[in-house]
Structure formats: structure tokens, C-alpha cells
Chains A and B, each alone.
Chain A
């Protein structure tokens, strides 16, 4: 029972990281209708920036995270402006391949700067832990921090999209880009802001991911990226609560699957659950089904 609780908490922690990454995927998909495969690599860049800020410049952790967020935001906006914006009218596949090109670019640039040797991420957020059940259940500060960060981000984003003018513009663009443009919404700026927010979240996710799993390599971002993308689809791509729910469920399923079914098949179980869910709910858990008008 205690071990189950431990796995569950670990799952929620991992799921929170997935959820934060998935938010970036889902917001970009909702608004630009594109699968941004480079998102996972933005996470990696964020983690490296934070790592450098802490290890080489000895900045305090919070400042390091802020640095990572700033760098990733700029990076996200740059990627969108240089690589994706010229392709606004192009086919989906063209945008997808470009996103893959950007992903290669980021990975290989990181490889040149930081080499392939794994870096050990400093355990800066380790300020103690809560011990329960006579020390059988240890909840580390990283786990608490991750979960708290997730909740805060969720609330902030919900308020942002629901209450602010920019948030409403984002929702309008995702509903109908053409109509939004006719209503005087600056679509390009809205998409830029979306990329900025998604990338800033990716930076946070990168730091949280690496404080729980402290090996940092140029390919660190790709697998969590793919899984978070899965989480976004799982919850219903385009839906913010869906990304949250999908991320959490995916993290829990992965950890429990690895613990109770098979360590080697952990990823396979995650993907199998995704497939089963999509078969019964083709638009994901919280997604709206779309019908083609005849």
C-alpha cells in the first residue's frame, strides 16, 4: 500500500512535468494547428541554460530558472517568426517537416556547444523531504515543487485565457483564424505570444524534469517531448484542461505500469493506453469532436 502511494506520487510528479510540456504543445496546436516537434528540444535548451547559469555563473536557482525562461521565450518567438511564419499558408506536412528540421538544428547546436557527455544537473531544489509511514514514504521537495508549479501554472493559464484580452484573442484565433483576423485581431502577434508562453513553460518543465531525473544530454528533450505530445492528444489536443489531465494520467500510468507490469514495457503501455482511448474517444478525453459538413 505504501509502495503504491509512493509510485502514485512519483507518477503525479512526472505527470506534472508532462502536463507543463503538453500545455505548450496544445496551445500551439490549438492556435497554429501545427505539431511543433521542436518543442521537446526547447525543454532541453531551457535545462542547459539553467544548468549553465547555476554551475558556471553560480546564480541562485530562481534566477537561473528566470534566465532559462527568458532564453526559451526568445528562442520560441524566433523559431516561430523565422521558420514557421513563412509557412502559414503551406501544407501541414511542410510545417511538420520544418519543425523536425528545427528540432535537428537545436539538438545539433546543443551537441556542438555542450557535447554529448551527459551533464549532472545540480540538485538545487533539494531542501529536505517529508517522511511519512515511519520513513517508508519519502516525498522529496522536488516532487512537491513540481506539483505546486503545475497547479500554479494551470490556474494562471486558465485565468489568462479566460480573463485577459490577449487570452480571448488566442481563443478566437484557435476557433477561426480568418474570422478573428476580420475582427481586427493581430493573428501573427497572437501566435507569437502563444509560442512565447509555450516556450517559457518548456523552460520551467526542463528545469523540473532535470531536477527529478538529473541526466542532461542534447537528446534529453525528445522522449519527454513525444510523451507530452501524446499526453496532449490523450487529453484532447487544443484543450488546456485536457493537456493537464492527459499529462497527469500519462505520468501515473507510466510509473504504475513500470512498477507493476514491466519496466521494459513502460513506454509501450503508455502508448497502448493512448491508442485505446483514441479508439473510444477519437478526439481525446476532453476534446471536441469535429464533423465535416456535407
Chain B
């Protein structure tokens, strides 16, 4: 089978201990996975919020992370983006160990995220929010900016063009001059995605992207997530409670409960898994 062959090859070339079972789509098998988490865990004063988290995400995979409230999903995102330093295990991003890195370095290595409770730069315009995302993509120095050297004009023009191009994914280019804080809720969520995309990530983490959206908006979002993956050739991992969205677009799904992975697999496998059903609905009464 191709799957085992591909895994073997990966092991041979990198000489690393056996990765745990991932759910990588076939097209990604031969390339280094974009994300590899091994035995990842964190303790908050003795309380294990996440433990033994193993996951592999392929280069252009759309992965879902689901689980009941308080299962530790956002904590996993915080561990991957180095908002928290893991107390156990390792995270490899594009094959590089992220041990000791901070959020900024993790972002530069190719991981970008959105937040569950929207964190936009409220007092800045929509375009400027995207330009912040482009911060490390289109660069010029402080003095170039103060002295308005040619590099400033060139850089500003590049940022402006790129920002509008990115905004056009969600048809938001007309909102470029609007204050981000005054956007409606759904638009704020979309702007967060655009801003994260602007950092040129290879893995995009979306924390409840459809929260607060109506079914029509969610439908559109699903198309757009696939469009983003196809256009930018990146991997997407999302936390979501809307099962239509998760089952509709995620190629691999990982279920978390009490900080531990209780199931991994495709949408069909997850839906049929008794442990998952139990975690969501509770145990059937005996008798």
C-alpha cells in the first residue's frame, strides 16, 4: 500500500522515531508533513490540560480538531503556536523542531492562526490589519520609513497591492478603509483569516471560524477554506463545533476529550466511533 510505503520512506530519510498514526491524504504522503506533534502535553500546576497529543498533518491537508467544551482544543493551538511552552513532547514544523521558540519565531517558521475570541487591531483600518500580517513579507527599515526613502514608497505600494489581493479572497477589498472594530462579526472573522494568510503560512490554524455565522455564511466559508488551500497550497487545521462544516471539508479529524486524543480518522470513521459518540452524548444507561 502506498500509505505504508510513504511512511517508511519518511522514516528512512529522517531517522526519527516512529511517528504516531496520522491521517494524511495520499497526495501529501511523499513530502515532509507540515506539522508533527509527538507526545505533546502541558501541565498547569499539576493539572494535565493536554497530554500525549500525537498528530501529523500533511502539506495540503484540511484537518479538524473537535471535542466537547473544555477538552483542550484551544490549548493545543496555543501549544502549537507557542503561546504556551509545552511541558512534554515536541512539535515539528516543516520538519524543524520548535523547542524553545516563541510565538514570533513559530509564525516566521510558517504557522499562523486566528483566535476564538476575535483579536483584531480594532483601531486600525481593515487594510492596515492585513498590512500587519504582511509585516515580515514586505520589509523596509524604520529610518527608510521616517526619511521616506525610495524603499518606503516601494514597500508601501507592494503592501497595498498585496493587501487588496488578499482581501479579494473574501471580496472585502471595498472595506479596506473601514475601521476593523466597526466591522460586523462575520466580516471580523473573515478579516482574521485574511490577516493570518498574509503572514504566508504553510499551516493555518482556525479557531472556531464559523462561530456566530449563519448557515449561508458557513456554507460560503467552507468553499473559501477549500479555495484557500487550493490557491495557496497550504494545510489548514480548524477547531469547530459546526459538524456540517467539519464533516464536510476535513480530510482528517482528531477528537479530543479531557486533554487526550480519543479518536482519529476520516469523517465516516469518526461518526461511527462509539467512544466519540459517548464523549459527546454520554454513556447509554445500562439495562
Q: Which residues of B contact A294 (CB under 8 A)?
A: 74, 78, 83, 115
Contact mask for chain B residues 252-276; partner A; CB cutoff 8 A; 1 contact, 0 none: 0000000000000000000000000
In the bound assembly, the distance between CA atoms of A294 and B115 in angstroms comes to 8
B36-81 residues at the A interface, CB under 8 angstroms: 74, 78
The range of chain A's interface size is under 10
In the bound assembly, the distance between CA atoms of A294 and B103 in angstroms comes to 12
Contact mask for chain B residues 228-262; partner A; CB cutoff 8 A; 1 contact, 0 none: 00000000000000000000000000000000000
Contact mask for chain A residues 255-294; partner B; CB cutoff 8 A; 1 contact, 0 none: 0000000000000000000000000000000000000001
Closest B residue to A293 by CB, please name it. Answer: B117
Contact mask for chain B residues 80-96; partner A; CB cutoff 8 A; 1 contact, 0 none: 00010000000000000
Chain A's nearest CB lies how many Å from the CB of B140? 30
In the bound assembly, the distance between CA atoms of A294 and B117 in angstroms comes to 8
In the bound assembly, the distance between CA atoms of A294 and B83 in angstroms comes to 8
In the bound assembly, the distance between CA atoms of A65 and B95 in angstroms comes to 73
Q: Which residues of A contact B83 (CB under 8 A)?
A: 294
Chain A's nearest CB lies how many Å from the CB of B206? 15
Chain A's nearest CB lies how many Å from the CB of B12? 38
Chain B's nearest CB lies how many Å from the CB of A259? 43
Contact mask for chain A residues 102-130; partner B; CB cutoff 8 A; 1 contact, 0 none: 00000000000000000000000000000
Chain B's nearest CB lies how many Å from the CB of A219? 39
Chain A's nearest CB lies how many Å from the CB of B71? 16
Q: Which residues of A contact B78 (CB under 8 A)?
A: 294
In the bound assembly, the distance between CA atoms of A68 and B83 in angstroms comes to 52
In the bound assembly, the distance between CA atoms of A294 and B113 in angstroms comes to 12
In the bound assembly, the distance between CA atoms of A167 and B78 in angstroms comes to 38
In the bound assembly, the distance between CA atoms of A294 and B74 in angstroms comes to 8
Chain B's nearest CB lies how many Å from the CB of A144? 44
User: What would 4 A/B residue contacts be, using CB atoms closer than 8 Å?
Assistant: A294-B74, A294-B78, A294-B83, A294-B115
B residues with a Cβ closer than 8 A to A are: 74, 78, 83, 115
Q: Which 4 A-B pairs have the closest CB atoms?
A: A294-B83, A294-B78, A294-B115, A294-B74
